[in-house]
Amino acid sequence: MGTSTRRSRRLMALAAVAALTTGLLAGCSKDSDNSSSNDSGGNSKGKTTLTIGTFGVFGYKQAGLYDEYMKLHPDISIKENVTTRTDVYWPKVLTRLQAGSGTDDIQAIEVGNITEAVQTQGSKFVDLGKDVDKSQWLGWKNAQATTKDGKMIGLGTDVGPMAICYRKDLFKKAGLETDRTKLAAQWKGDWAKYVDVGKQYMKKAPSGTKFVDSASSVYNAALGGGNERYYDKDGNVVWDKSDGVKKAWDVAMSVATSNMSAKLKQFDPTWDQGYAKGTFATVACPAWMIGYIEQKSGASGKGNWDVAAAPTASNWGGSFLGVPTAGKHQKEAIALAKWLTAPEQQAKVFAKQASFPSTPSAYATLKPAADTTAYFSNAPLTQIFADSAKTIPVQYFGIKDQPINTAITDVGILQVEQKGKSPTQGWDAAKNEVKDVLGQ
């Protein structure tokens, strides 16, 4: 990729960020994909309005938490501002943090961005460690949001233990095993075995369907189960030497160079349409994606989706809530952030959409909603995700972890999957993009 091409992309990205800062991006929520904000407070006259910036579907509104909090605190009105994609959301937040204005009272931070927030934006967030009992959260989760001088800038929301969500109706039509336990045994221990099941599926695939949504989906799932990502434990960039990256790339290439992928870009409208139309049979699904699948697949997916254990224990995603120092209502924002991330509230979100808590004390009582369980063919969601969470390897995230990941998935893998380039050409494209990310 030439320098002029990379410069053009950077200019386009800057223009996109500028557009976002003016609020032109439409966000998504469970109720509407056409509104970038969701005011749960109704008439906020005479009240303190707290804004909370999130991405995707956090589940707070869906679980009724905003309404519950406002009943407990009649002087508070809550407005949620939602952005669909994290790779769009975070640059917008960075711009506002650096400007010292325009941030929400509470800002969600995705795990792929938490190291950058800790190392470069620590002074822009309130130290929440002074106001909470840290033992409520997983120790490694707290550590991810803590600066070298002990400042805790985020409270853990969910973690992302992995499973495989699959359409058992499509599996049956393709002549494959539909029992979740037997199916999991077929691919246990190796993502390459999962690809082998995909090859079997494609031999008798129902018309218009593919085995998996995208090669990037498989890449992220496999990467989340490795011992090393893009940085080593000392913070050194090792992405191009990482064994975890190599294994994830290889399995993704097996998908990208085959006919088993629907070639969709996750979280784009076409991906949502794929759910609605039932055009792919499996997707690597961290716990937080359960609610998304139920939302996007709609009535046609009820009882057809099922959940099986993933080939390896893996984590994808998980977030934090931080309170920017630029906020006008810090005291009230801290109180709301503490309440939303407490074990009781995390359990309520799980009950609504299976987002898996980062608070271990909630695990014993977790119960997904009856309609969610029915939607996923009565799969034991709590057990499947808890079993994965217990054995997820510890991974080190670096300051540019998220943009490096985006460079590999949205440039490297897509070059192969959608443009017919060779795996070598895709890797070279990813490498050039990563060099831009790292300023090399």
For residue 143, give both structure tokens: 């550590």
- Please count the helices (runs of H) and the strands (runs of E) in the chain: 19, 10
Neighbours of 133 (CB within 10 A): 9
Confidence (pTM): 0.75
Neighbours of 11 (CB within 10 A): 10
Eight-state DSSP code of residue 260: -
pLDDT score of 46: 78
Phi, psi of 167 (to 5 degrees): -90, 105
User: CA angle at residue 112 from 340 to 143, to 5 degrees?
Assistant: 65
Per-residue confidence in pLDDT tens, the chain, 440 aa: 443 333 333 333 333 333 333 332 223 333 333 334 555 544 456 799 999 999 988 999 999 999 999 999 999 999 999 998 888 999 999 999 999 999 999 999 999 899 999 999 999 999 999 989 999 998 889 999 999 999 999 999 999 999 999 999 999 999 999 999 999 999 999 999 999 999 999 999 999 999 999 999 999 999 999 889 999 988 899 999 999 999 999 999 999 999 999 999 888 999 999 999 999 999 999 998 998 999 999 999 999 999 999 999 998 889 999 999 999 999 999 999 999 999 999 999 998 888 899 998 998 889 888 999 999 999 999 999 988 888 888 788 888 998 999 999 999 999 999 999 999 999 999 999 999 999 98
Q: Which of 416, 412, 362, 410 is nearest to 385 (CA)?
A: 362
Q: Which of 316, 291, 314, 295 is nearest to 110 (CA)?
A: 316
Judge whether 112 and 320 are in contact, CB under 8 Å. Answer: no
Residue 389 CB contacts under 8 Å (≥ 6 apart), including other chains? 159, 161, 313, 315, 356
Eight-state DSSP code of residue 235: S
pLDDT score of 1: 41
Place of tokens 């070279």: 428
